[in-house]
Amino acid sequence: MRWPGATARVLLGLAAGALVGLSLAHWLPATAGTAVAIAQPIGKLWLSGLQMTVVPLVLSLVILGVATASDAAASGRVARRAMVVFIALLSLFAAYAAIVAPLVLSMVPPSEALTATLRGTLPAAGGVAAPGLADWIGSVVPSNAIMAAAQGAMLPVVVFALFFGFALTRVQEDRRAQIIGFCHGISDTMIVIVRWMLLAAPIGVFALVLAVCAQAGIGVIGALAGYIALQCGMYLGATLICYVLVAVLARQSPLAFAKAILPAQVVAASTQSSLASLPAMVESARFRLGHPRAVAALVLPMAVTLFRITSPIQYIVAACFVAWAYGIDVNAVTLAAGAALAVVISLGSIGLPGQVSFMATVMPVTQSMGLPIEPLGLLLAVDTIPDVFATTGNVTGDLTATSIVARQSPDARDVDAPGD
């Protein structure tokens, strides 16, 4: 008999925790309080184990992301155009998420029982109040980077990492290689620790879900279903926006573009892997869309390595959902800071395993917005469900970016024609 995979084990932990918690709340309410008192510290311990890796992991990933982007941009004009398009599109979709997600959530009032339970069962340890504009501007650049890291202030940490990464591009090549190797070692080590913590994910998720369901009841399941629906809807919306961008920026027919990329989208939906979809994307770009080999062969591998339009959407939607569930109002300044951080982190997090990526990327964005991170353990359990929509959106975004770069690169034309 084959042992269930990591995702299946986490989902089993979620289902078991919900079943036990709801059963205790319905049939043994007197025992539910004792069960919560036992389960809550277990869930908190697991989350703390994940949280301890966030600062060194994010710091190293941002530095490596800057180095990778710098190397890519230095390789030629097409690569530089691609990097500009990637950053512009990531910023656009981060803004889309920061505007649409809170608007959609505001239309559905959270359950009072759920809000009260989250605040009581999953206290916002380490959460800070949303800053005003003046305070936010004054705190962006850290006066002491080590202190900012110790306090879990993710935005100043990321700003320091950006300065460090860009300054590193000016350092002598051999010394630069040593520091990059050191950063790779840190990130790889942190990923190993996160994987160890994720081995206990079924137990941690079980404990968190049990504690919340025992107090909030069936409302927790409805809230998680709403989170899944919101993520799927946001990913579908991003995919549709890509067709508009193709019409406006690449001067292509959206219908012709949709027909040309459909085979790549089918591969993406079936494999849930952008990397596995790369051959189909290259085929669509070269022979269905007619883009030059010099563009398709360079931009698409870069896109798979550096560019996922759904990443900032995932981070911001998760953070906004936490704010909604707790009944916390997030102001425009905080949303803007979270969106900017989501763009930076998304450039450095490509290639991380799914569950590792979720905790290493969503957690710092949520922390930077002054929100509690405790509910992320619940969201981790269900975040793989919308993957089919996310991968399809990413592949559509990769081909959209390629079409825009091809439009901007008349000097990259070659003799091959569609259908060759």
pLDDT tens sequence across 34-71: 888 898 899 889 888 888 888 898 888 888 878 877 77
Q: How many Cα atoms within 13 Å fall on the side-chain side of residue 146?
A: 0
* CA distances to 66, 167, 169, 197, 243 from 164, in Å: 9, 5, 9, 29, 37
Question: CA-CA distance, 105 to 222, in Å (whole number)?
Answer: 14
Q: What per-residue confidence (pLDDT) applies to 359?
A: 75
* CA distances to 193, 220, 253, 317, 359 from 376, in Å: 18, 13, 40, 12, 8
Question: What are the two backbone dihedrals, phi and then psi, of residue 210, each rounded to the nearest 5 degrees?
Answer: -60, -45
Question: CA-CA distance, 296 to 278, in Å (whole number)?
Answer: 10
Q: What per-residue confidence (pLDDT) applies to 415?
A: 43
Question: CA-CA distance, 178 to 267, in Å (whole number)?
Answer: 39
Question: CA-CA distance, 298 to 406, in Å (whole number)?
Answer: 11
Q: What per-residue confidence (pLDDT) applies to 125?
A: 41
Which CATH class, in words, describes the domain spanning 6-412? Answer: mainly alpha
Residues near 85 by beta carbon (within 8 Å), at least 6 away in sequence? 401, 404, 405, 408
Q: What per-residue confidence (pLDDT) applies to 127?
A: 44
Low-confidence ranges of the chain (pLDDT < 70): 1-6, 72-75, 113-114, 116-139, 348-356, 411-420
Q: What per-residue confidence (pLDDT) applies to 420?
A: 41
Q: What per-residue confidence (pLDDT) applies to 419?
A: 42
pTM over 0.75: yes
Please report, for the chain, the start and end positions of each structural domain, with discontinuous segments joined by +: 6-412
Tell me the residue length of the chain. 420
